[in-house]
Amino acid sequence: DVDYFACKGYISQSEMYRAAQRTFDNQDHVIIHLGDHDPSGIDMTRDISDRFGVFESTNYQVIRIALNMDQVEHYGPPPNPAKITDSRYGDYIAKYGPSSWELDALDPDVLVELITATVEKYIDPDQWEEDKARIDARRSQLALVSKHWDDVTRFVEEK
């Protein structure tokens, strides 16, 4: 499995802390970020990187895989006016113009493909298959235990 969490807007400090707690294992970590292409959505990638670094004790990198301008040009989601009230508006329109785009406008299958392709770049396929086989074997054991739960509880109670 690949750990993930979804949020709406900027991530709270407590959620960021909980996410970082899952990474204290001396391994390298890749945080894949998908967000709207608007003043705040673009800034959230920076925010995640900066704030995750407060808690993270190992190596990590944050990669924004959507929504990027090349994807806007390729998939053509409908534009919205960027929010003038956003404090990041000036910098955003200087770089991208006055339009913004929502991640939700992309077909879900496109998002699945983007995430899958990115995750696959960072996994060792042999290790992945080995781990998957081990997990499947454990799930089979648990299914068998569940099927014979009454026998299991009697056995434990007798001990």
Q: Which helix (H) or strand (E) holds 61?
A: strand 60-66
Return the closest-CA partner of residue 72 out of 102, 45, 98.
102
Rounded CA gap, 62 and 23, in Å? 13
- The per-residue pLDDT for range 98-134, each reduced to its tens digit, is 999 999 999 999 999 999 999 999 888 999 899 999 9
Mapped onto helix, strand or coil, the DSSP state of residue 26 is coil
> Is pLDDT of 10 > 90?
yes
Q: Is the pLDDT of residue 22 over 90?
A: no
Which residue in 13, 73, 80, 2 sits closest to 41, CA to CA?
Answer: 80
pLDDT over 90 (residue 41): yes
Query: What is the per-residue pLDDT for 54?
Result: 84
Work out the pLDDT band at 1, boundaries 50, 70, 90. Answer: low
* pLDDT of 57 over the 70 cut: no
| Cα separation, 126 vs 132, whole angstroms | 10
For residues 92-102, average pLDDT: 98
Q: Cα separation of 7 and 44, whole Å?
A: 11
Q: How confident is the model at residue 149 (pLDDT cuts 50, 70, 90)?
A: very high
As a whole number, the mean pLDDT across the chain is: 92
